[in-house]
Chain A
Amino acid sequence: MLIFREEIASTYESVDEVVREIVNRCKNVDELNIKSFLFKMSVILREILNNAVEHGNKFDPLKRIYCEVRFHRPVIEFVVADEGEGMEIDMETTNSEDDVLSVRTRGFKIIKKMRFDVRVDGNKVIAAYDLTNIDEE
């Protein structure tokens, strides 16, 4: 089921607007209308989209960010692509329990700790969450 697909501007304000819209659309799907899940999803989406704005498109007003949300029961998948040069993530560093007060890998640490499965393919990030995890948390 396609929940959302749109291109947005490279601003933090657009990210806030689009995340609120996606949360509202998810509230209309019974299985997704779970307060704790919607909070997590909001945090994760903001993280990935802010990253695309800041590091991918570097706030360039001429560059757009593609955002798609699909629900294949029981997995919800988020695809975010920017027009940047892509990135490499050192998953070993991201997984490690190093200084929690350091800024460098905080965003991806949040995503991993929230049990989202994340893949990075060039300038595209795909994050997936299995809703059956909610029962175990």
Chain B
Amino acid sequence: MLKTVENNAMHIKFQQDLIAPNVKDFEGKMNRYLEEETDLDEVVIDMSAIDNIDSVGITFIISMFKNVTKDGKLFRVTGCNSDMKQLFKLMRLDDFFDIEE
């Protein structure tokens, strides 16, 4: 999980699949990053390096979205392959945040 901050936008790039065995570790890191970075306007999630996701991973993305946007920050997901994008649309998550390939 790589974090970069540029122009008040925090980019999080997942380097391991967003699946149940990995999510607990991601949650801890993400909470720490959000505590450390207090001047953010936007959080961008980059999925370009991963191929697999499960409902635990989807739940994690939704919890990030809720956590980030409750303070008025923007949230979007980028780098989705076509299958992942279709899954997010199937779950109607595109009603809540931008999902980009």
How many residues belonging to B are interface residues under a CB distance threshold of 8 Å?
25
- Across the interface, do A42 and B62 meet the contact criterion of CB distance under 8 Å? no
Chain B binding site: helix, strand, loop or mixed by DSSP? helix
Which range contains the number of A residues in contact with the other chain? 20 to 34
Instruction: Give the Cβ gap from B75 to chain A, nearest Cβ, in Å.
Output: 13
* Contact of A106 (CB < 8 Å), options: B20, B55, B82, B95: B55
- Across the interface, do A113 and B90 meet the contact criterion of CB distance under 8 Å? yes
* B100 proximal to A (CB < 8 A): no
* Contact of A110 (CB < 8 Å), options: B17, B55, B95: B55
Chain A binding site: helix, strand, loop or mixed by DSSP? helix
Measuring CB to CB, which residues of chain B are less than 8 angstroms from any residue of chain A? 17, 19-21, 51-56, 58-59, 62, 66, 82-84, 86-87, 90-93, 95-96
- Please list 21 pairs of residues, one from A and one from B, whose beta carbons are closer than 8 Å in the complex, sorted by A's number: A11-B21, A15-B20, A16-B17, A16-B19, A16-B20, A36-B86, A39-B83, A39-B87, A40-B83, A43-B54, A43-B87, A46-B20, A50-B20, A101-B96, A103-B59, A106-B58, A107-B55, A110-B55, A110-B58, A113-B91, A114-B90
